[in-house]
Amino acid sequence: MILLPHGCSCSPLAVNPKNWKIAGKSLLKKNWRIHYYFRDPEFKDQFPYGKLVTIKGMNRYKTVEERRAATEILIDEEFYMLQVQGYNPITRKKSGPEIELECDIHPETTICEAVEMARKKIDGEKSTLTDLKTSAKYFNKSCRQLRYHIIRIGDLKRIHVKNILDNQLKQNAYTNERFNKIRAYMHMIFKQLVLSDAIEHNLISGIPKKKETKKIKITLTPEQIKTIKDHLLPKHYTFYRYMQIFFHSGSRSTELFNVKYKDVDIQNQRFKVLVKKGRNYEEQWRAINNNALAYWNELYAAADINDYIFSYDFSPGTVKIAARQVSNKWRKYVKTPLGINADFYAWKHLHTTKVIDLYNRNLAAGINGHKSNVMNDNHYDTMRQNRIIEMAKTIDVSI
């Protein structure tokens, strides 16, 4: 018998079939299970010989190698819960040392569990949360492959994290750009682990980024612009209308898709966005340019008081849509049928370039909501944004 916390004990964890470590493919025809007897003195009358515990989570794997690896992981995790966390299969509760300290995520928590707990505490855009979920999933998969999954988060070292990320890179053949994105998302998760008192320092910070190759941006030619407009206007008007508004707005799609009826001030030709960038969120007014005013009037007249300005089909509605709708429709309506390789975001670059060419760089930065360091504008020049809005209403940059 194996002695456990609180006077409990268990038999050694065994596996059926008994030859699971050495036999061949014929094992796949059998249902595998881990089993052991758990004894708790407080439940001696109910379970005089102990409670039989079975675990069958390995049977979903379709190769012998995968099933063996999964079985070993399940044994490790079960034994860790029993011996370290004081897990009681009868009460299905843990009574280990983690209850002694008041932490959001206790340092005794295993790595994979801690990463998931931290991820779920992070708030943000739906697309960001999706990317966080994917990054955490493959981080934990790599963690299990290296058999680090039984390490407690409080005992985690930078070398463990580096090995996990490097193993991800090797297993998935990531580009350096993709590696750096995953590193950024895991940095957010580890920051939350620091805030939750699970670890002392953000271990991702000490892992350098991979060198990236700056690619030449694909721009739209005047001929392509005319082809796109002639194609979209008669066939996909609502997307054409959104394209025009986006071009003149100086905003990201994620910002525009948050705009509601109450955020639009038609009389003063402006709309309000919530900029989620940097350490703080910030509300900003953006101008409605004369060239896009007619399209804004259409949407505003069609919207109800609680509507998003851009919902399904880029028209007013009660449902908030994801920014990926833009790239999906751009691929479906433009890239595939017209053979144009430029991404939708090329419109934003094109607008910025035209404003710089016809006006000046500071105006372009202001329209796009970028900070200027001239006179520390946002601090001393409190009317700067109002002047930019007034100028942005009337500039004539069209497509």
Residues 133 and 175 in one domain: yes
Nearest to 346 by CA among 223, 221, 162, 180: 221
For residue 35, the enclosing domain spans 2-99
Residues 93 and 171 in one domain: no
What DSSP state is assigned to residue 301?
Answer: H
Nearest to 111 by CA among 119, 123, 99: 119
The predicted pLDDT at position 128 comes to 86
Structure-token pair, residue 238: 């609502």
Q: How confident is the model at residue 359 (pLDDT cuts 50, 70, 90)?
A: low
Residues 241 and 373 in one domain: yes
The predicted pLDDT at position 377 comes to 43
Return the minimum-mean-pLDDT range out of 168-177, 189-198, 303-312. Answer: 168-177
Is there a domain that residue 201 lies in? no
pLDDT in tens, 28-67: 999 999 999 999 989 999 999 999 999 998 999 989 999 9
pLDDT over 60 (residue 10): yes
Nearest to 236 by CA among 313, 343, 134, 172: 313
Residues 171 and 254 in one domain: no
Residues 187 and 226 in one domain: no
Return the minimum-mean-pLDDT range out of 7-11, 108-112, 215-219, 353-357. Answer: 353-357
* pLDDT (mean) for 280-297: 88
Q: How confident is the model at residue 324 (pLDDT cuts 50, 70, 90)?
A: confident
> How many separate domains does the chain show?
3
Residues 176 and 255 in one domain: no
pLDDT over 80 (residue 273): yes
* pLDDT (mean) for 228-235: 93
The answer to whether the Cα torsion of 282, 287, 292, 295 is positive or negative is positive
Alpha helices in 122-252 (DSSP H): 126-145, 158-172, 176-195, 222-235, 237-249
Residues 88 and 180 in one domain: no
Is there a domain that residue 173 lies in? yes
Return the percent helix, strand and coil in the chain, to nearest 5.
50, 10, 35
Q: How confident is the model at residue 103 (pLDDT cuts 50, 70, 90)?
A: low
Question: Cβ neighbours of residue 349 under 8 Å, at least 6 residues apart?
Answer: 217, 219
The predicted pLDDT at position 385 comes to 63
Is there a domain that residue 214 lies in? no
Name which residue leads in pLDDT, 87 or 360.
87
Residues 269 and 360 in one domain: yes
Q: What is the pTM of this model?
A: 0.58
- 3-state SS of 308-338? ECCCHHHCCECCCCCCHHHHHHHHHHHHHHH
Residues 288 and 389 in one domain: yes
3-state SS class at 206: coil
